[in-house]
Structure 1
């Protein structure tokens, strides 16, 4: 028997062995194996890398939610830009090389998108070629076999991912896709489709979603996500953006659900950012870590004008920004910004 025949026989035996293992593991809709077997098989798969600090890891289905006009799309585009370049957003962690990103934009028109990445429609920001953006075709004729655009989209996702060779999918946003009369049905269908894609295509998915109207004096919880129980069950991780009562441009990012890490960015350690557009790119700028309670609306608190008067008095006493912040119960970044606005 020559070497070539021996190699073929060995290969066939291995394939038959793997087939028998799979067949023996299947029990109805379940795959049953020894716990040690699961661990041994998992050892051969790479450890998931951070895509956006501990908020989102590779091959996770993650949900980013916030109220309307808080900045979900701004942050999502910034994350997409970061991943496409393989360059971390300042203040956040990134552990992977450049990835091809497919951004499904159901929120902004191309002109609105242009405005956010230009200086008054001039001096446009240049994105990396790895960043792909998609809109729904306004002249689309729905195929007869599909009952709705939501059904058609779910069936089209895998094809779009394969053709574009995308490694990251961002959907902006889930709320747009929901038919008012059948919200739960389509949200569930889409989440199941996306969850399947993370496993079958090794793709990382971020879904943006709105919150129902909520009181800005209360901490953000998983219950603030529309359809929270159902959606939270299907996602691997979730984080939210909250508006700050200290300054209209301040936002904080809070971890809501996590599986690949411990709960780091909780109520006592949220990430404080400032939304700004220094030239041609609207983005979140990292400021530091703060307590969520510092930025919640407080009916009993003094007005900004009263606070400014107190701040001016403390400045005249020679106190530092950090000391003034402690006295007023605000972040020192707020002190810096208010001083700049008041030309102090």
Structure 2
């Protein structure tokens, strides 16, 4: 998994305050935060916490910009330059408040909006962070009550790949799915159309597993074993209509070091949406090769390359098949005799 340096260009925080028996209210900053050590550390911790979560969805902005206005606001901010960063953040905070009130959410949060350069691109991060009570040690070595940001209470978060959005990519928006209402209501805030087709996601998963196995430099037999386990496990999920959970998949497929595979599957650059039901047909490349030419069509198990049943000669551009079944021999003999 690649490591990306985050360079923060803008950061602002607002607060959504909820108290029993009274309507929610917003506490809004007047200007962006100073980019001091604490601010930069907050952003790094936020990004790391987001990356550590496996249940992510991916998509693009909805086309209806009246109902889902964030895309329009971003154009006004980045293209037309008629909306500055603070004004953008305030409009987004008001939208968060309105939708959170509709959904009757109970917890208050700190809204974090950060514009970040990541390598050659840039992105906008939006998150709702909770807080927790803690104990600090004062200058006189006395215990003091304190409130601190609780990164484990990352209630909702989204990342907009602004470079991909400008470029017209199919998917440039990622968000945490969460449990219950957690992902759905924040998807409304972002205006995300969840592009998650099982066939496409399964193909990306198969390709990612194949690349991962290549990097592990396994013996042919071990490689076949891992891919067969992946196929059998995912095929069972597909038959049962059950969704993929990356952490569970990693434990089943690569029990020796599941965290390594889990990290690759969750990596932002893979853009695999968690929670899809595997397409069983798209799983076939895990265990077999299939190809066709002008006058032939062929399918064989991957393991055949290592058992000797199939031999590929790169120098002569030929495949040699061993163990030809009797019925095919007879058909070939008869055709040759004719």
TM-score normalised according to structure 2 size: 0.24
* Structure number with bigger Rg: 2
TM-score normalised according to structure 1 size: 0.24
